[in-house]
Amino acid sequence: MRKYEIMYILDASLSDEDRNALITKLHDIITSDEGKIIDVNEWGVREFAYPINNMTKGYYIVITIEAKSETIREFDRIFRIEGDCIRNLAVKLDEEG
């Protein structure tokens, strides 16, 4: 298991209930495959530097996790399928930090 940091952006127009349900669904992908969520940092709604899919704002979330590389691929696959997910980026953290 390796440490990763994932930043993802959701549609800013989602209601709180829908957004929380989607966040739970995405986090369950990680925990269902022996992964562990270490930290969740919700940045909230932020302006984009440029329009993405005719949107100018998104809801940003950064999570730190321990997971297998297969889990990261599955997270990315499901993320692309979901209509309210805009972008994501997973970065492998150094072993020491």
Question: Tens digit of pLDDT for each residue in 36-94?
Answer: 999 999 999 999 999 999 999 999 999 999 999 999 999 999 999 998 999 999 999 98
pLDDT reported for residue 33:
86
What string of DSSP letters covers 16-54? HHHHHHHHHHHHHHHHTTT-EEEEEEEEEEEEEEEEETT
| DSSP β-ladder status, 55-67 and 36-52 | antiparallel
- What whole-number distance in Å separates Cα of residue 15 and Cα of residue 21? 10
Q: How far apart are CA 18 and CA 84, in angstroms?
A: 10
Q: Can you list the domains of the chain with their CATH numbers?
A: 2-92 (3.30.70.60)
Q: Output the pTM of the full model.
A: 0.90
Which candidate, 82, 38, 43, 95, places its Cα nearest to that of 63? 38
pLDDT at 96: 63
Question: Residue 70: what pLDDT?
Answer: 94
Q: pLDDT digit string (tens) for 2-49?
A: 999 999 999 999 999 999 999 999 999 999 988 999 999 999 999 999
The predicted pLDDT at position 21 comes to 95
- What single DSSP character describes residue 68? -
